[in-house]
Amino acid sequence: MEILGWIVSFAGLGLTALVLWRGRYLHIIGRFPFFYSYLGCGFCGTFALFLIFRFRHSAYPYAYWLYFLLGIVVEFAVLVEISDHLFEPFPAIRQLGRALTIIILIGLGLIYILPTILYSHSRHSALLGFALRASLTKAVILGALLLAAHYYGLRLGKNVAGLILGFSIYLGVNIANFAADQLFYHLYDNILWVMSPIAYTLCLAVWLIALWDFVPTPSTRTVSPASRRDPEAVTFELARFNNELSKFLNK
């Protein structure tokens, strides 16, 4: 099982390198700064874990848990990136979306995530509860962003849609894994630490395809009939809100 875990991890490392290389080749790293910073941290962290496993094997469990916890926190950068690109045509709304994402993160972190660490009976249950609730929090934020995009008829575009799809696969598999491990700890614990890298590798494969070419996102699109809203009215409403918010932020 350990060998399989390392094989999957190296596959993920190779895909991460490909996504980073392609982003540099297309000169789009600056367009997705949070996302590529997240990938850079993941690449360096995985490589550092391999070196520790190879040369300081006794320190590997502590390094792994530290990397695991930091990775859970850094993953929120992908949500900030998605929020930024959803509201890219409206700078003030984009700042508001970023602020709301951070506020929701902090609020749920204090109310929903932190208690799992403070009141857990063991380190394993604390870490697992933290990972599960953090993943659920990310899913809630992602769902809120998608609802906003649907309500205002915002076009996702290939790149952003790929970010969302890959991250959704990753979150979905992780939530199922963490929940299964909480219910069937003795049966599922060894499988968990292989399934998480597999989920991340699948996520990276989707991201590689989605970001292989840069496709600019149009600022507007035709609103779906289900919304029964005039596209021009939606655009005007967003532009007006953006102008009012800009005036407020500049005071």
Q: What is the pLDDT of residue 8?
A: 84
Q: What is the pLDDT of residue 14?
A: 93
Predicted structure pTM score: 0.79
C-alpha distance from residue 215 to each of 122, 151, 205 (Å): 47, 23, 18
Average pLDDT, the chain: 78
Integer Cα distance of 136 and 207 in angstroms: 21
Contact call for residues 161 and 210 (beta carbons, < 8 A): yes
Q: What is the pLDDT of residue 177?
A: 85
Integer Cα distance of 210 and 228 in angstroms: 30
**Type of residue at 61:** P
Integer Cα distance of 16 and 18 in angstroms: 5
At residue 144, does pLDDT exceed 70? yes
Contact call for residues 47 and 24 (beta carbons, < 8 A): no
Per DSSP, the residues of 132-155 read HHHHHHHHHHHHHHHHHHHHHT--
Integer Cα distance of 105 and 76 in angstroms: 8
Q: What is the pLDDT of residue 206?
A: 95
At residue 241, does pLDDT exceed 60? no
Q: What is the pLDDT of residue 113?
A: 63
Four-point Cα dihedral 98, 101, 107, 111, nearest 10: -160
At residue 35, does pLDDT exceed 50? yes
Ordered by start, the domain boundaries in the chain are 2-250
At residue 66, does pLDDT exceed 60? yes
At residue 92's C-alpha, the angle toward residues 226 and 39, to 5°, is: 85
Who wins on pLDDT, 16 or 56?
16
Task: State percent of the chain over pLDDT 90.
Answer: 26
Closest listed residue to residue 82, CA positions, set 165, 171, 160, 162: 160
The structure tokens 């979306």 sit at 97
Q: What is the pLDDT of residue 245?
A: 45
Q: What is the pLDDT of residue 116?
A: 64
The CATH number of domain 2-250 is 3.40.720: no
Integer Cα distance of 84 and 90 in angstroms: 9
Q: Tell me: the pLDDT tens digits for 150-184?
A: 877 777 889 999 999 999 999 999 898 888 877 77
Predicted confidence band of residue 225 (pLDDT cuts 50, 70, 90):
very low
At residue 7, does pLDDT exceed 70? yes
**Token code pair at residue 236:** 């005007």
Q: Tell me: the pLDDT tens digits for 97-130?
A: 677 677 776 776 677 666 666 665 666 677 777 8
Mean pLDDT confidence for 63-81:
85
At residue 93's C-alpha, the angle toward residues 209 and 242, to 5°, is: 130
The structure tokens 């000169």 sit at 27
**Token code pair at residue 249:** 């932020």
